[in-house]
Structure 1
Amino acid sequence: MRYSTQVKPISYLKANAAEVLATLAKQRVPMIITQNGEAKAVLVDVASYEATQETLALLKLLALGNRDVEAGNVASVADVVARIRKKRSAAE
């Protein structure tokens, strides 16, 4: 994806805020806002932001799981199933 077409100065955002928001919601492509010629912010629609946050959360869980595996903090499937069955029978 090329972001070069989605680079706008802050003055454009100020003058066209409603249009910018509509475009973000429709196209779901981030917009880079510049100030004094430097990139200062990235605007995204809410749905894209939420999807990104969910993806980051899943990646964090995977990283934590990999860390546990590397540290040897693992259990066999048989042990896990036995533990679950034991908890179920105790709850009944």
Structure 2
Amino acid sequence: MNLSQDIKPISYLKAKTADVINSVNDTQRTVIITQNGEAKAVVQDIKSYENMKNSLNLLKLIVQSENDIEKDDIVKQDEMFDNLEQKLFG
């Protein structure tokens, strides 16, 4: 990964917006946009963004599950399946 190629000033984005978007979609590499020498934004293709959001949601579920286990707020597997069968099949 050559990060220096993926860092562009905001003036570059203003002048070459279509090129940046096409490049991001073709390479699936994010582009970091700087303003006054500081990183301010990231341009990313939609598929990579969706994958990142899905990954974050999974991590949140794992953390919630770990918290439930620590609090002993759990349901045994057999009991969960019995409850589910009752709800589905009466």
TM beyond 0.5: yes
Q: TM-score, normalised by structure 2?
A: 0.90
Q: Show the 5 A alignment for 1:36-75.
A: 36-75=36-75
Cα RMSD of the aligned pairs, angstroms, is: 1.3
Q: Could you give the per-residue CA deviations for residues 15-49 of structure 1, whole angstroms, max 9, x where no partner exists? A: 11110000000001110111111111111011111
Structure 1 contact 3–30 (Cα < 8 Å) conserved: no
Name the SS of the counterpart of 2:75 in structure 1: coil
CA distance in 1, matches of 2:19, 2:68: 47
Q: Structure 1: 5+ residue runs without aligned partners?
A: none
Counterpart residue type for residue 63 of structure 2: A
1:80 aligns with 2:75: no
Percent identical pairs in the alignment equals 39
What number of residue pairs does the alignment pair up? 90
* 1:28 counterpart residue number: 28
Q: TM-score, normalised by structure 1?
A: 0.88
Shift of 1:80: 1.5
